[in-house]
Structure 1
Amino acid sequence: MYFKIIPQDILETPPPSDAYFRQAWEFCRLWALGEQAFVLHTSGSTGVPKPISLLRTQMQASAQLTQQALELKSGYKALVCLNVAYIAGIMMLVRGMEIGMEMYVVAPSSSPLDAIPEEINLDFGAFVPLQLQTMLAANQKKRLNTFQTIIVGGAAVSPSLLSQIHELEVPVYSTYGMTETVSHIALKRLNGTSASGFYELLEGIDIGVDTRGCLKICGSVTNHEWIQTNDVVELKTPRVFGMIGRADNIINSGGLKIQLEKVEQAIGSFWEGTERYFAWWKPDERLGQKLILIFETTQEVSLDWIKTRLNALLKPYEIPKEIWTIEKFAETPTGKVDKQATFAILP
């Protein structure tokens, strides 16, 4: 089931009976009526969810930058399958309204194309990695290739998913951004001849780093105020950067600092299973913080097998000491893994 929104007709479009679709309809009506400010909430993936007030001018600037970077056109058919209560879904609605794209709104799910009839040829879609992975596993590659452009964000793209993205003909971009920056401020091409391992800023965005090496951002999307992040980056040029990990994802184990994302990336280089996993820590009397792995599975995962493969990829102190398994990860409202909550409910 889907709900179609045509920007120029929104004020004459009757309200849908479905509560989720009505939420999207109400936002688009407010936008068409000229609402100047909106209050959104952060997803809670990196902290306690909090309200953020955004100006219409900031959201318009973001939509215009994305249109320019991805060459989005009026008349495109856009799939809106990210939660419209949060910035990623809201900005899909804003892009549709500002650019003049027909919007096909579906409730968030792991396989959003199932809700759209095959005779509808979509042009633009934004997904989280889990959605893209699920659709590729369901043999929907041919349908994805009918898109003109796909963006993916909200979580890291695993090496196994990246290898599948390389096989797609449609241009696929990874996004970098957050609620405070009104969705993404940088893009990284994941496939094709221009694929890159680094993010390139959209026009009009300035960045720098603080003493921790964490990214700070300023531009029209931030109302020309500097936004400080906790993301540790590597600046290649003033407009190109690579992600290292979050400053709050660095643990101190026996006096040695470990970047958790580095451990996860190393495992991703050889792990071929579909199970989700992440590196975390538990209190330890001797080490202070003991490095562990948590897998979303009901099956046993061999620590020795993983250690053997990590020996050639990581330093000895970066090798996990334990593996824990849980049937289902805790998630934020936007579908991201809530690591702290997951650790709290481990058996």
Structure 2
Amino acid sequence: MDKDTASIPSFGTPDPENLFLASAEGLYSYHQLNRYRTYLMHRLQDFDISGSRPVGFVANSCDELVMAVASCWKSGLPFACFNPSSPAQELEAQITELNPALLITQGDLPLSPEKLPPVLSIQELSLENAFRNEPGDSTVSPGFSFDPDPDQVFGYFFTSGTSSSAKIVPLRRRQMLFAARASARNFRPDSNHFWLLCLPLNHVGGISIIIRSLLYGSGIYRMKKFDEQMVGTFLSENKLFQAASLVPTMLKRLIDIPAFRTHPTFKAILLGGGPISTALLERAVAKGVPVVASYGMTETCAQIAANPLLKPSGTYIPRKSVGPIFEPNDIQIRDEGGTAVKGNTPGLIWLKGPQVFDGYLNKDLTRQRFDEQGWFNTGDFGYLNGNRHLFIESRRSDLIITGGENVSPYEVEEQLERLETIRRAAVTGIPDEEWGERVVAAVVVEKGAPFDPEAIREKLEQRLIAYKIPKQILAVGELPTNRTGKVIRSELPSLFK
């Protein structure tokens, strides 16, 4: 891939006394981060870490993990965060494929010792141990005292995308620098204020909060997991909180709290990681909650499109848009044959620019997803309006093709969730001899509300064309979701057997 010729963004150096990290366990400044970085680099200098052999982390969210990731970025050490909840077979396959120089773990791994690289316990690298030692010169990183090249890989990320097996995405420093600058044009927290981090740290969404905060010189408040009551209190009452990154399910849980409002100096909730319904945005507007709806993926170093900041006093139009693509990146909408289509015509989303990754670790997969001019086929489906605002129709792999017609599950889900009796809905297609795929829906009914599939279908007839209306509607206690509350679509068909 040709490098983009746009100049690399640069950021200033934060005041050492400013807040960097806070959690229920402690409060740490940038000076303490520099001390931890020196300590960590001393511990890692004997390992054969290189651009192709990163530091591997297998740990749940904790202060040490945040400090270690930040230290790796500051020292130019590539890293990879594995999901500690992954099945042993999957985790072993990922570690074998990536071959990290060492693993830093939170506990014993259910893997064969002969298949593991050298292992350090994150308890050995605790903040207590780091700050017990002499602080030394916090500007020096023994063994890694170099100025990182913008083209250097800073991290390796696993993403399933449109296939069942995980793909490894190497992301380079320049991609994160461009992403951070683009995000900052919309909003950024002030120094000594917090960006709420409650996303998993094995995804680019969580990691990008750490690195963007470093670049902005602002602070992070880490929560081990999302708790709507606690988050609601923070964003309503604590003026140190200025930003939060949430997925739509998290925002919905906040909005469901009757008294929830953000405090007057709160800047924005950055919303991404899944389809965003108009009904949810309308509820946020009604409560005066500032929201930035965005679009992105691991391959674009998180968000690459976003609406302008949604102020409580107004809204962006049209509300279903995820905004324009961040400059200097570019976008094309193409048909199945690869030809660019006109505005307001749905098609596949292709991206190119300095925020877009250079390719997967698997070169064959890279050749399948990039064209000769360096455009990346996202596999997502959408269109541009006359003002080049992007509208997401669906993830391409999630499209339901029934009787030759394309159905976006997100469109049907949005209409279902507009009904008063339905709290949440998930729509998928299951094999059907007559139609190819049959549209079906699993719904979580509001407590105490009646469940009448025929009545639901009758209401949908006023909102959807006939082929989009689910032929089967099933009430469930809960939907299959991952740790962020995102529906695991691959598990939906099994509900209908």
Q: TM-score, normalised by structure 1?
A: 0.87
Tell me what 1:219 maps to: 353
Query: How far did 1:133 drift?
Result: 1.9
Tell me what 2:202 maps to: 85
- Residue-by-residue CA offset, 1:199-219 (whole Å, 9 max, x unaligned): 222221100022231111111
* Identity between Structure 1 and Structure 2 (%): 23
Q: 1:345 to 1:253 in 2, by over 3 A?
A: closer
- Asked if the contact 2:307/2:324 (under 8 Å) is kept, the reply is yes
Q: Which secondary structure state, in structure 2, belongs to the residue aligned with residue 59 of structure 1?
A: helix
Q: 2:332 aligns with which of 170, 193, 208?
A: 208
Tell me what 1:63 maps to: 180
Is residue 2:472 matched to residue 1:322?
yes
Query: Within 5 Å, which residues of 2 pair with 1:135-150?
Result: 135-139=254-258, 141-143=260-262, 145-150=264-269
Q: 2:33 aligns with which of 10, 25, 32?
A: 10
Q: 1:29 aligns with which of 41, 64, 71?
A: 71
- Residue-by-residue CA offset, 1:2-61 (whole Å, 9 max, x unaligned): 65454453122489xx95212222101111223342111226687543221111221121
Q: 1:290 to 1:34 in 2, by over 3 A?
A: same
Query: Within 5 Å, which residues of 2 pair with 1:25-174?
Result: 25-35=67-77, 36=152, 37-42=154-159, 47-111=164-228, 113=231, 118-119=237-238, 121-139=240-258, 141-143=260-262, 145-174=264-293
Counterpart CA distance in 2 for 1:256 and 1:44 is 23
Counterpart CA distance in 2 for 1:318 and 1:338 is 21
Query: How far did 1:265 drift?
Result: 2.9
Tell me what 2:426 maps to: 278
How many residues are aligned here? 344
Counterpart CA distance in 1 for 2:167 and 2:194 is 32
Q: 1:259 to 1:103 in 2, by over 3 A?
A: closer
- Residue-by-residue CA offset, 1:84-128 (whole Å, 9 max, x unaligned): 210110101111111101111111224252695954620111111
Give the aligned residue type for 1:164.
R
Moved more, 158-167 or 44-53: 44-53
Tell me what 1:228 maps to: 377
Moved more, 285-294 or 245-254: 245-254
Q: 1:70 to 1:311 in 2, by over 3 A?
A: same
Is residue 2:396 matched to residue 1:247?
yes
Q: 1:228 to 1:123 in 2, by over 3 A?
A: same
Q: 1:129 to 1:158 in 2, by over 3 A?
A: same
Moved more, 202-211 or 73-82: 73-82
Query: How far did 1:311 drift?
Result: 1.4
- Residue-by-residue CA offset, 1:283-312 (whole Å, 9 max, x unaligned): 223222111111135976322111111212
- Asked if the contact 1:110/1:134 (under 8 Å) is kept, the reply is no
- Asked if the contact 1:110/1:130 (under 8 Å) is kept, the reply is no
Q: 1:249 to 1:300 in 2, by over 3 A?
A: farther
Counterpart CA distance in 2 for 1:148 and 1:141 is 15
Q: 1:71 to 1:320 in 2, by over 3 A?
A: same
Query: Within 5 Å, which residues of 2 pair with 1:282-301?
Result: 282-297=430-445, 301=451
Moved more, 290-299 or 203-212: 290-299
Tell me what 2:11 maps to: none
Q: 1:120 to 1:238 in 2, by over 3 A?
A: closer
Counterpart CA distance in 2 for 1:67 and 1:9 is 25
Q: Which one has the largest radius of gyration?
A: 2
Counterpart CA distance in 1 for 2:161 and 2:272 is 15
Counterpart CA distance in 1 for 2:277 and 2:32 is 40
Counterpart CA distance in 2 for 1:313 and 1:131 is 26
- Asked if the contact 1:175/1:187 (under 8 Å) is kept, the reply is yes
- Asked if the contact 1:5/1:25 (under 8 Å) is kept, the reply is no
Structure 2: where are the runs of 5+ without partners? Answer: 1-23, 41-58, 78-151, 337-346, 359-373
Q: TM-score, normalised by structure 2?
A: 0.63
- Residue-by-residue CA offset, 1:143-193 (whole Å, 9 max, x unaligned): 455412221111223344222211243531111000000000111255542
Tell me what 1:308 maps to: 458
- Residue-by-residue CA offset, 1:323-345 (whole Å, 9 max, x unaligned): 12332322234431011213225
Q: 1:333 to 1:53 in 2, by over 3 A?
A: farther
Moved more, 136-145 or 207-216: 136-145
- Asked if the contact 1:145/1:169 (under 8 Å) is kept, the reply is no
- Asked if the contact 1:43/1:333 (under 8 Å) is kept, the reply is no
Tell me what 2:136 maps to: none
Q: 1:24 to 1:274 in 2, by over 3 A?
A: farther
